[in-house]
Amino acid sequence: MLFVLFLLSLVMTDAVFHSQHCFESKRPEWMCNYMKSNDRMYPSESEFKKIENNLIRSHTVLASYKVKNVSFALSEEVFVPNHHLRKHRLKKTNPLTGPHKLLSLKRSRGRFDWRRYHGAVTPIKNQGPCGSCYTFAASAALEFWSNLHRRDKHSLSEQIVLDCTSKPLGENYGCEGGWVEEIFDYAKTHAVGAYLNYPYHASNGSCPTSLVPSRVQVLGHRSLSTYDDQYAERRLAYIIRRFGPTAIGIDVGTTELLFYYNGGIFPGDACGKNIDHAVTIVGYTPTYWIIKNSWGKKWGVNGYLYLERGVNACGVANYVNFITKAKPLPNVPKTCI
């Protein structure tokens, strides 16, 4: 019996694919060093081959650009186009005008970070293999208003707004992308439930037909863009401080460097301005924006991006949507459809 167990252990050990096997198989040295330095092992060589192309792609991208004072990391994940914000329309909702436009030109010196306020910013989440970035950006803004002045702080359900704002019920496209402002419009009259009651499963589903305990109602929201306002980025700091975490769009696809961002202040000349991914600004310093992403805690700085401020880096002010007024609800039953 002991001999059989010994043989099984030899077979299992031999099946594991680790850095030594990588060197022996004459794979690129950088790849084997990655496995060795990160103590990476895989159940078999065939399992390793499933992520090998992702490593090669990330290495190719990072070798094509030289960016100072920013750290990057090879990635075993695949970042596919359907992670992105829908490109073919920039819907403008109540463009910023009137007194707010004048007030927002006041300079916001120093730094501000909503993460310092309990419940204002919920933990980092992961959208997975679903192009639902717009739901996470919208939820981050909604969560601020939902948790305002209440003791029971909760994350909201991205799944409900994913399923209930997509065609044929709404204008979004589920895991194939959508727009933040459609979710803000939805939250004016329909239910936005808690994540615990309606957890996210990274795929399209059916909108609930029963009454759902809703936690927040949007009463007003507005948009801002450099296409209409040359001072759009200058207004951002005021908007964030006055109205809370703010949903924006950035360009991640032009250079793809942001896929592998691992720390530092990401410069504006390392990306384009063709926005394709929705995120949320939660604060700022004199030199960079503090941006909450939806790619998990292992990406970036514990899930956050520090993006250069003042140069419209990655199109940070090309697509801005923010809530101007909303109220938390005591789990009032509402319809989703």
Q: Which residues are catalytic?
A: 133, 277, 293
Spacing of C-alpha 131 from chain mean position: 10
- CA dist 300 and 232 (Å) reads 26
- CA dist 242 and 237 (Å) reads 8
Phi, psi torsion values for 4, nearest 5 degrees: -65, -45
DSSP 51-113: HHHHHHHHHHHHHH---TTEEE---SS---GGGSPPSS-----SBS-THHHHHTTS---S-EE
| 255 CB burial (10 A radius; 0-12, 13-18, 19+) | middle
Please say whether the beta carbons of 115 and 121 come within 8 A.
yes
